[in-house]
A and B are shown apart, each in its own frame.
Chain A
Amino acid sequence: MKNNSKICTADFIQGNIACAEGAIMAGCKFFAGYPITPASEIAHHLSKRMLEVEGTFIQTEDEISAIANIIGASWGGVKSMTATSGPGISLMLENIGLAVVTETPCVIINVQRGAPSTGSPSIHLQGDILQSKYGSQGDYQIIALAPASPQEMFDFTIEAFNLSEQYRTPVFVLSDSLIGHMRERVEFPHQTDLCLMKRKVLKHYQGIHQKIFLDEEVAPMPIFGEGLRANITGSTHKEDGFRNVSSPEILDNLIKKLSNKIFNHRKQIIRIEENDLDDAEVVIISYGLTSRAVLESVRIARKEGMKVGSFRPITLWPFPEEAIEDLSKQVRTIIVCENNLGQFYTFVKAAACENCQVRFLPPKILGTLYHPEEILSEVKEVI
């Protein structure tokens, strides 16, 4: 969180609790969710805290209802959030598409677990990376942040709210069961030191064809109950919200404008953490929890005199294509470490355009932590 904030207090807490506290600090006033391991602690904590800050907590009948509730609440003018795991996201996907298309700010926490299907609730996996980008039907851009610690679950939840408000769009936080349940020191800034974004809202009714959608610089949102006569639909629509499902030109306009709203601002949205890149011949790309094992491996490799660096996208989506392309021109080899069968790797390989060698290294057993030796022996093979 680049808020230049001074530390107010600190605590030794679980990632999920840190996430819930981040939501409170970001000004979230509405939480809807359905119990699921390993995300339930977020709901437990917010069922108490939300009411203390005059907010609303609702345990819904299913995850479909949870996402629908937070979208409805967002149109009511409040910051809203849900938290779940992969199976819940699978149920939410149709309405996540609706949130994208109706340009509704909201935050979705995915504490990933072993998948596919019911999978392994308490095993950590980075298995839902592509689901968050491509899960709902059609072409659209999404923003997703990948924390690696309880501190980052706090920080990135606040950042997710900021991005969601700024770009009027749903934002994912892609955590996993290990970060969610891990206990570490979390530092809380003073509320007044935080920089919180507020959505651009429509102030006065501007006539039947008022422009409330599809502005690449983000259209003002007509909050319900203010006499703004909002005309909101999940069907293909024009800038004024009126539906038109027969014109390909209007469909084309919607898809491109919605996508460009995020894509054209990717330089402002994308955040990357780089270490030891200056003279690196080999660079390891990783994100989320995996990046911590990579950092340790790079530290050991450097001690042993190997020219190795690390590159960690904090925002997985939008994909940092230009940065990875530039990187591929500077180094001999990129190694992608992720706890899945190569979801991010495919994108990295495409972005590298064969400028350098790109290798994929999952942990020896999916769902376990990397041993630095696994990464080091791969590095030694290519250096």
Chain B
Amino acid sequence: MEGMINHPLKKYFRGDINYTTCSGCGNGIISQAILWAIDGLGIDFNQFAFVSGIGCSGWIPSPSYNTDILHVTHGRSIAFATGLKLAIPRMKVLISVGDGDTAAIGGNHFIHACRRNIDLTVICVNNQIYGMTGGQVAPSTPYHSKTTTTPYGSIERPFDLSQVAISAGATMVARWTTFHARQLRKSIAKAILHPGFSFIEIISQCPVQYGKVIGKRNNAVDMLLEYKKNSIDFNKAKELPKDELENKILVGEFIENRDVPELTQEVKRLRKEAMHQCQK
């Protein structure tokens, strides 16, 4: 059509697909942040593979992105991605997962990938709830929340996923909310280039299921404004008294450590040693 211009990110899409996210979902903001980051880096999109878990977050790359996509079982995407990365270390492997994938069913794979420092980038969409299955409590849901499986309020304390990643040995960890689209894009670009395991946690709105829990049903804008109001740079937070930090979301790039050996490089080194010993 005359006068029509294409979205600058359209070239990254497979096309011919119906999108399934609810209106107001944070997935769109995150998807743009990923693609703008890749666009800015100028790396051929064919060099990227995306591995998806099960849940709304899996639909960010799958099947929409026009490159290699592996959409697997719930919680296991990091394990599939580990095999893929070890088989083709030259590929940039990104994993799009939710808080359930990461902290509940896939918790074991998550901490071990951190420990191994394998060069993968995990984009963790933390909407603090099980969205797709109908608003059940997640390991990331705040204490006392009323969800479809905690009608009297949740009695378990949530994980701080970024802190779990740091403790388990991840070498690049950042957290933003969907309000911080620009910072998010920059951190994702950094994570893609980071030679080790990078974990990007994004607190993202689910106006349908989590909106219901906090009295903001179907109100994405209010949820984003809430993120703006409640977010605080983690460095600034260090100087604040504890009571001022209640209900705050600490954001920023927590760590970036390039001195830790990366797994695929370690495998390469071992192969050389093994072949050397074999020839003796």
Contacts and interface: CB of A to CB of B under 8 A. Distances in A.
Nearest to B75: A64
Given A52-B278, A208-B15, A228 B112 contact: no
Contacts of A54: 271, 275
Interface in A32-61: 32, 48, 51-52, 54, 56, 58, 60-61
A231 interface: yes
A89 to B, nearest CB: 16
A80 B83 contact: yes
A48 B14 CA distance: 42
A231 to B, nearest CB: 5
Contact of A225 (B68, B267, B273): B68
Interface in B33-83: 46-47, 49, 51, 62-63, 66-73, 76, 79-83
Contacts of B70: 72, 75, 224, 230, 232
B108 interface: yes
B80 A52 contact: no
Contacts of B68: 75, 222, 224-225, 228-230, 232
Contacts of A209: 16
Interface stretch (A10-18, A159-167, A233-241): A233-241
Given A69-B82, A71-B80, A225-B90, A56 B267 contact: yes
B260 interface: no
A61 B275 contact: no
A78 B85 CA distance: 12
Contacts of B47: 225
Given A224-B49, A234-B71, A75 B84 contact: yes
B87 A61 contact: no
Contacts of B62: 231, 233
Interface in A254-290: none
A90 interface: no
B81 A72 contact: yes
Interface string B79-99: 111111111101100000000
A128 B91 CA distance: 38
Contacts of B225: none
Contacts of A76: 83-84, 86-88, 91
A242 interface: yes
B109 interface: yes
A317 interface: no
Contacts of A224: 49, 68, 70, 84, 88, 91
A68 interface: yes
A184 interface: no
Contacts of B278: 52
Contacts of B63: 231, 233, 241-243
Report, nearest first, the 8 A-B pairs whose CB atoms are least far apart: A76-B87, A72-B83, A69-B83, A68-B79, A51-B274, A72-B84, A233-B71, A65-B79
5 contacts: A60-B79, A68-B73, A69-B82, A77-B88, A208-B16
Interface of A: 29-30, 32, 48, 51-52, 54, 56, 58, 60-62, 64-65, 68-78, 80, 94-95, 98, 208-209, 222, 224-235, 241-243
Given A61-B112, A68-B72, A75-B87, 16 more contacts: A51-B275, A52-B275, A54-B275, A58-B86, A60-B82, A68-B82, A69-B86, A74-B83, A75-B70, A98-B72, A208-B15, A208-B16, A228-B68, A231-B63, A232-B68, A234-B73
